[in-house]
Amino acid sequence: MRFITLLFLILISFPAYGQRLQFPINDNWEFVKWDTARLNSNELPNWQGVSIPHTWNATDAQSGVGMYQGYGWYRRDLDVAEDWKGKRVFIRFEGVGSVADIYINGKHLGQHKGAYSAFCIDITDAINYGNFNEMLVRADNRSRPDVIPVNHYLFTVFGGIYRPVSLIVTNPAHITTTDYASPGVYIRQKKVDKTVANIEITTKLANLAKTPAELRLVAEVHNDKGKLVANLASEVRIRPAGVQPFRQEITIQKPHLWHGKKDPYLYSLTISLKDGQRTVDSVTQPLGLRSFSFDDTHGFILNGEAYPLRGVCRHQERENKGSALTDADHQEDLDIMMEIGASSLRLAHYQQAEYIYSATDRLGFLVWAEIPFVNTWTGEEGENAKQQLRELIRQNYNHPSIFTWGLHNEVYVRGDQDFPVVLTRELHDIAKTEDPDRPTVAVTGYGDLERPENHLAELQGHNRYFGWYGGKAGDIVEWFEKTKLRPGTFISLSEYGAEGNWQQQSEDDQTPGDPVKGQFYPEGYQSRYHEIHLAAIEKVPHIWGTYVWNLFDFTCPFWNRGGVPGRNQKGLISYDRLVKKDAFYLYKAAWSTEPVLYLADKRLIERTIPKQTIHVYSNLDSCELTINGKMIGKGQVAGQVHFTWDVTLNQGENKIQISGIKNGKQYVDQTTIFLFPASNE
């Protein structure tokens, strides 16, 4: 088998003209969970075969009593072709949780700190050509004070090689792979409107030979049909001295603009290094031409038009898989986002899979990307936060879907010289140096606009949980009014939500028990909470973005609340993606263009209170209620898409039917409710 694999690699080793070769190495791995810092691969008999993506916390993080935090070891043979001699060979990891050490043939080649960003290591000088090479990877997901996030309390930092791995082979002169694992190409949109697009391209070139390379740098822009629409060539001399940036400017006349979900039009930009007609190396990147801004009246402006950002937050995990997700898993989540009709996505609270950013470009979601400087702090994590911010920006610079870089979330202080304040100022400066055109954003969990951690970024996010962590859901209306007192401060509702266990139902829509220790979080309360918030959000166009926390339930490994251990149940959808809670359909009715008629509280089948309020979410032209065949009539409009009827049920069986019409087509939803006498207990 080894001989066959090696022969196959030799046959595919380099395409015509010796261009870059990149291929996945996600199979044929072995794994052992072994809590030791040093390991001789021949000492342990209990290696088990695994495929990447893989995490050792897929199930134990759901227990509610903690999870394994420590070392996990991975082993794989690398087959290196003989004709790779004279080339450069790199190994690229898209994500390892959380600290990774890489060994080739027993030699330690590097360490990467941070679970969520990619990293790329040059392994050329450690490999044996035409032979097998042993690669060991030590992953460590223990909390540590110098790596963000510094604890596992708000979400799980899953251990393992949980994102894809690839091997890259280049010529000595190439577009760099090791500039924080970026594509090595940076596209800056300097001026974009309907008449012209002026873009500046910075390509970082490396030459690891001993003599300068005289080459031609070619930029080509193609439209979505593959037709060349603009090109430029420059002669370059690449010295054998580190990474060197080369800049080019290119103009596209009458560009087709990228306009979010309404029109996510993508060009592509290919940068090639050529020696005469021979292509030495090439990289292709997405190009979505757009401009955006913010104002006090209309919030977010895309290509000169008001474009409300009605969004959801997302954690990258699911039941019994943890964070070891496939592209199909990511796409299913995005399909659900499309179904609900959201226009924006906050990737909480860390850099997510590369598939997500590429897909949001294609689908038209506006993306808020951020680093995991979240919750608590130690004062030792500054350098790692800066590293992760640079990685986030450089690796994702070219994605048109990204509109802001997030610096921190709910990191609290007492004074304006405390460590997080100073660090956030430094992070802002780094972000603006790396990317002058996108704004930064920072988030507080307080509604007070004057706290020391506020206004350190260009955009301000507030996580407000009125009606869950204190107060009443309706208090959000007064808070929205207070945000108008800070003209020139661009404010978002960066998180809001309430727990809802779809398996728990109650006729009492009052506030459930303790939001931290309670075990009864009925779905109906979550529905009422979101009904109030959605109605308020529709009246505040100056708030540039609103984000439901969360689209999906997710794990908190030390939580035990709401009848499900290890789970945050504020999601609109269950952890396994099988159940859409009622509140999901409220937002679908408000945001989606798809016809929606949904009778809420259907899971509350058995009731004891005769007087009931029927709740319906609908964007149809009309909406009528029938009970036991008797027409009750049109409902009262409680919100733009929220209708209610106050009714009295009969003892025993009650057949509830709601019907409506849109564009001449009739829609029906129905259920049966049983009314029983109240218990004397």
Kindly list the catalytic residues.
410
The rounded distance, in Å, linking the Cα atoms of 633 and 680 is 35
The rounded distance, in Å, linking the Cα atoms of 648 and 655 is 13
User: Which residues does 251 contact at the CB level (< 8 Å), separation at least 6?
Assistant: 196, 197, 198, 199, 230
Strands (E), 9-69: 21-24, 29-32, 48-50
Q: H or E segment at 222? A: strand 213-222
Tokens of 288: 């979505």
Helix (H, G, I), strand (E, B) or coil at 523: helix
3-state secondary structure 287-312: ECCCCEEEECCCEEEECCEECCEEEE
The dihedral formed by the CA atoms of 314, 476, 542 and 450, expressed in degrees to the nearest 10:
-90
- Give the residues across from 360 on adjacent strands: none
Of 631, 638, 636, which is closest to residue 659 (Cα–Cα)?
Answer: 631
Alpha helix (H) residue ranges in 209-368: 327-340, 354-363
DSSP annotation string for 178-204: -STT--SEEEEEEEESSSEEEEEEEEE
Q: Long-range contacts for 564-570 (Cβ within 8 Å, ≥24 apart)?
A: 564/501, 565/62, 565/63, 565/64, 565/65, 566/61, 566/62, 566/63, 566/64, 566/65, 567/62, 567/64, 568/155, 568/499, 569/499, 569/500, 569/501, 569/521, 570/497, 570/498, 570/499, 570/500, 570/526
- Give the residues across from 674 on adjacent strands: 606, 653
Tokens of 589: 């009715």
Give me the sheet containing 622-627, strands edge to edge.
606-607, 665-675, 652-662, 622-627, 630-634
DSSP 213: E
CB 194 within 8 A of CB 243: no
CB 63 within 8 A of CB 555: no
The rounded distance, in Å, linking the Cα atoms of 584 and 617 is 10
The rounded distance, in Å, linking the Cα atoms of 533 and 639 is 10
Distance of CA 59 to the CA centre of its chain: 22
Of 564, 542, 544, 545, which is closest to residue 553 (Cα–Cα)?
Answer: 564
Backbone angles phi, psi at 663, to 5 degrees: 55, 40
- Give the residues across from 235 on adjacent strands: 216
The rounded distance, in Å, linking the Cα atoms of 144 and 149 is 8
The rounded distance, in Å, linking the Cα atoms of 41 and 553 is 38
CB 145 within 8 A of CB 378: yes
Tokens of 489: 């401060």
Of 223, 212, 339, 376, which is closest to residue 593 (Cα–Cα)?
Answer: 339
Give me the sheet containing 71-80, strands edge to edge.
48-50, 29-32, 71-80, 131-140, 99-104, 107-113
Cα within 13 Å of Cα(69), Cβ side? 17
